[in-house]
Structure 1
Amino acid sequence: MRAANVTSQQNQYDYIVVGGGSAGSIVAARLAEEGAGSVLLLECGDAGDKHPETLTEDGFKYAFANDDLMFHRMSAPQEGCGGRKLFLGTGRGMGGSGAVNGMVYTRGDKRDFERWPKGWHYDDLVPHFEAVEKRIGIRPRVPTPFAQRFIDASVSAGFTRKDGMNDGELGGVVGCNDMNYDESGRRSSYRAWLHERQVPNLQIVTNASVRRLVFGDSQRAVGVECEIEGQIKTFDVSKEVVLCAGALETPKILMLSGVGPRQEIEAQRIRLIKDIPGVGQHLHDHPNVCVFYRAEQPVDFKYPQLYGFDAARRPAHAQTNEAPDTCFVCFAAPGTLHQSMHRMVPLIALPGPLYKLGFLRSFYRVLIDLAFKLPWLQRYVSTVFGIVVILGKPDSRGSIGLNSADPAAPARIDPAYFKSPRDRETLLAGIAKARQIAEQPALAQAGAKPLSLGGTNASEEKIWKWATAATMTTFHFCGSCRMGDDVDSPVDTKLRVKGLRNVRVADASVMPEIPVSALNAPSMMIGYRAANFILEGKSS
């Protein structure tokens, strides 16, 4: 990465961007490129070149399994998931979650944005999406024979074939989704805006864990305090701080800085800067379950390229165009199951503090590696696929709070999965639709046999009991610092934190309602637009 023309001894900057992920890479690069002033980008993880798998087209599965590239977080016990604590990891290091995800690029359905504030509806956002897409490049993959079987089965179950899926119309469609990649590797925002170019007036400091924003006598941020190699250092800021740390970290940083709900802040004896009750509230995510099958032939694709979107209760072949509330993804076990087990098995087998012991994690991963060398297991896994049912428009809302004034202590994160009865109904309808897809001739002729839930006669209660035990996150956290004109939204429509003079938020935490699709594309769009707001204000 070639990005610094500012000496490392510099302590004061015009702008400080916190977080080098999907949005932060764009904000920092654009402010520096377009002459807004000196810019400091603080990233808590490693430089991109330290982990080459974050830059390659095929490296996503290895990145997901790399402990250095994901935060280790567990949720509060989830009543809707049998009291379990769920893994809530997100990407860390340059590129953030955009460096470890499956490179899926979807803007969302037009109707996803109808409840966003004025100026943020789909037609308002198209130029900003297009600007991002021009820089990173997007395209779908050509379906393999087995991938085509899944598409054909979905069409038989009432879906319409559509590849790309970035025209804002996602109701009842299935196909090969757009992805941000090319022949040379992953096209994350970090790679497109920072890694490939020299950016003047930009200093990037990695392995810098932000502890808090520093405020003067007014509600104006004057610096950012962080920990670098065990030392506490404060960087001064003269114009703005832009928080791009993600929906689980940004509200935590604000509360540690004294900005947020009074009771959360004063309970930890932190000096209150601004009482903003909405900080950390309205958290939501896409929970999912995967219905597994085994075919008689090997599954011949390895990327998360096959997507369907639908209203879960829509009857097959009905002519209505309802807004989609569920996403269906065909998961190929041969391509990613080995590395997914590297990540998930230690989490399940080593609860609490035991997980922190690296030698125990390594022990389980060695066992997994040995198991995957067994020829019979390789043959078995080569034929396994799943249909991931994602609750795309959850009704439930959760929250984030502080457990401690210590920045190193984990936040209290409650995604409140299935708190709303409507979410249970939608997920059950989505599971039924996934099973209908698997029963269509195109997959039945491939010998697809269920490994989850057995035959078609399982009771609703049995299915729900399985679902509560199988639910996991899709890592699409948002809404915890939502923007809006209403008094309950802590961020305004130009992404400024209300009541503060020079702090903005530019990441998925500002989304007032989650799109039905993946959040990487909207997050990059938000970063692009945040830079526009700052640059427009500078010139006005």
Structure 2
Amino acid sequence: MLVPGSAQVGHRVLALAEGLLVGQVVLEAVGGDGVEQSLEAMSTPPTWPALLRGPACWGDFTVEQAGTGTSVLLPRGRGLGGSSSINAMIFARGHRSSYDAWQVAGWSFDDLLPYFKRTEHAPGRDPALRGVGGPLTVAPADPVNPVLVACLEAALEAGHSRASDVSGGLEERFGPVDLNIVGGRRQSGADAYLAPALGRPNLRVVTGALVHRLRIAGGRCTGVDYSAGGRREFAVCSGEVMPAAGTIGSAQLLMRSGIGPSAHLREHGIDVVADLPGVGENLHDHPVANVVYRSARPIPPGTHNHAEAFGLVRSDPVLDAPDLQLLFIDGPGHVPDAGAGEGYTIGVALMRPFSRGTVRLGSPVPGAPPVLDPGYYSDDRDLAIVVRGLRMAHRIGDARALDSWRDQEMTPRTATLDDDGLRAYARAVLASYCHPVGTCRLGDDDLAVVDRDLRVHGLRGLRVADASVIPAIPSANTNATVYAIAERAAELVTTLVPGA
């Protein structure tokens, strides 16, 4: 039984685990509440920014961040395909170093590579690194917006190198990134994996389903309580229940079910089934600050995802791995606003943040908003790295290759600010790159929630398979990694004895 709850991954596990159970049920939160009105916008790549404040997004905001004094939107998809139906469609593996940093046996970059390859159809690439024949057809934009081509040339002029495949996971440098766009349309996880499985007689997809709690009896998950169509329902499971509601939703569901930090559960009157203090801990994300330019001439309208190229760089040459992504965008801001006038952006995204935060229940009531505190910039080292990234972005933006496009730097006017000024700027413009991870992390220590086979510690018949299990965030957009986790989960549930 899969419990996506509008996550990115549940339907993918289901579609791959064919024949595991006599009956398979997917519970999905989307229903007749306006989400279907977003379907055309979901399919049309350049319109994705509008989805982040519509019914296809849960619309969660963080609490005021102690490091910035601001609260920010932390988008997550609400509908079949989850966040893969509303995101910016970037399909990139993080640099291999960011997976090796997980330090969990069986989950290094080399361990994940077969699953990365299994997800994709990327012909013409290095077959040792990239896959052919997978459900997701991925490729760079063709053509790349000319202002972004100029940004790539400017990066080379500023001393950076060109990557042969910036999406593959082995290279730093700059280049056009792979996108989940096929024939001019978004390809979501639901398009690639769920749609082909809908005719299976052993599959039932229940939409408009609000999951209340997991049922646990004798140390085993036996099913799910949910409501749909105004009725309270219970789905019995003799095999495995697999929450895949994302970094926020899976942690919420476990806690509502009595699985989590005991003191917090008791505060909400929830009986403790399993005292797992790591549930909801380790929340972290890629924060973003932008260097935004007014354009000297009209920028061709974006026809892909607006962000068609990026580079992975080290903020300090002495580092052993890249810790920044510099993203080129054909509009002002990392979520382009068509009403903001002609402009383009070099986004600075912190790839290996030190700061950590939490997801907590706001209420035990199903559907109640969570309390989100990612702790952005709570560790001063993060701000120092972002400041170095802003200066790198300014050097690229000031290169001759952009002379014909550049009118002036609108924000932050980097050349006029010292490091303290740039720190203040980064705090003021804090935004999420929409990649929260970590709240049910892999591992064997006291704060780990799932083991290396994704089974929840201390319970049977229950696994988690989404971005919440990631111990440390990859140095790229997380969608491709979540697909690989789903492929790995599908293999685990078809090769291991259910509930073992």
Shared fold (TM-score, shorter chain, > 0.5): yes
Two-structure CA RMSD over aligned residues (Å): 2.2
Residue of 8, 13, 16 corresponding to 1:30: 16
Structure 2 match to 1:5: none
Equivalent in 31, 43, 64 of residue 55 of structure 1: 43
Residue of structure 2 equivalent to 1:103: 89
Aligned to 1:307: 310
Deviations 1:498-527 (A, max 9, x none): 001111000000001101100000001111
DSSP 3-state at the match of 1:130 = helix
The aligned runs of 1:120-519 (5 Å cut-off) are 120-133=107-120, 134-141=134-141, 142-171=143-172, 173-183=173-183, 185-200=185-200, 201-216=202-217, 218-300=218-300, 302=302, 303-314=306-317, 322-333=320-331, 340=337, 372=339, 381=341, 383-454=342-413, 456-519=415-478
Give the C-alpha shift of residue 333 in structure 1.
Answer: 1.8
Does the CA contact (< 8 Å) of 1:140 and 1:164 recur in 2? no
CA distance in 2, matches of 1:449, 1:385: 11
- Counterpart contact for 2:52–2:75, Cα < 8 Å: no
Q: Give the match's secondary structure for 1:450.
A: strand
Distance of 1:215 and 1:321 partners within structure 2 = 46
Counterpart pick for 1:45 among 8, 20, 30? 30
State the SS of the aligned residue for 2:52: helix
Q: Which 4+ runs in 1 deviate beyond 6 A?
A: 334-338
Following TM superposition, by how much is the alpha carbon of 1:322 offset from its aligned partner in structure 2, in angstroms?
A: 4.0
Distance 1:301 1:507 in 2: 34
Q: C-alpha separation between the residues in 1 aligned to 2:277 and 2:335?
A: 41
TM-score where L is the length of structure 2: 0.90
Given that residues 163 and 178 in structure 1 are in contact (C-alpha distance below 8 angstroms), is that contact kept between their aligned partners in structure 2? Answer: no
- Tell me by how many angstroms 1:187 deviates: 1.7
CA distance, structure 2, for counterparts of residue 230 and residue 436 of structure 1: 57
Matched-pair contact (CA < 8 Å) for 1:287–1:391: yes
The one-letter amino acid of 1:145's match is P
The one-letter code matched in structure 2 to 1:52 is E
| Contact 2:119 2:483 survives alignment (8 Å) | yes
Count of residues paired in the alignment? 477
Query: CA offsets, 1:222-247, max 9 Å, x none?
Result: 22112223332221111111010000
1:488, distance to aligned residue in structure 2 (A): 2.1
* Distance in 2 between residues matched to 1:337 and 1:307, nearest whole Å: 15
SS in 2 for 1:309: strand
Q: 1: CA distance between counterparts of 2:22 and 2:165?
A: 38
Return the offset for 1:49. 6.1
Unaligned runs of 5+ in 2: 121-133
Could you list the per-position Cα deviations for residues 32-68 of structure 1 after superposition, in whole angstroms to 9, with x for gaps in the alignment? x344431100111248865232234444234334x21
Q: Could you report, residue by residue, the CA deviation over 1:203-223 in whole angstroms, capped at 9, with x for unpaired residues?
A: 11111111111122x121122
- For 2:247, what is the secondary structure of its paired residue? coil
How far did residue 144 of structure 1 move? 3.2
8 Å contact from structure 2 (residues 166, 311) kept in 1: no
- List gaps (5 residues or longer) in structure 1: 1-14, 315-319, 342-371
From 52, 64, 77, the counterpart of 1:64:
52
- Which amino acid counterpart does residue 86 of structure 2 have in structure 1? V
TM-fit CA distance, 1:446: 2.6
- Distance change (3 Å), C-alpha of 1:211 and 1:322: same
* 1:195 Cα deviation from its structure 2 partner: 2.1
Q: What amino acid sits opposite 1:88 in the alignment?
A: L
Distance in 1, Cα, partners of 2:236 & 2:387: 52
Q: Is the 8 A contact 1:147 1:301 kept in 2?
A: no
Code of the aligned partner of 1:474: Y
CA-CA distance at 1:255 after TM superposition: 0.5
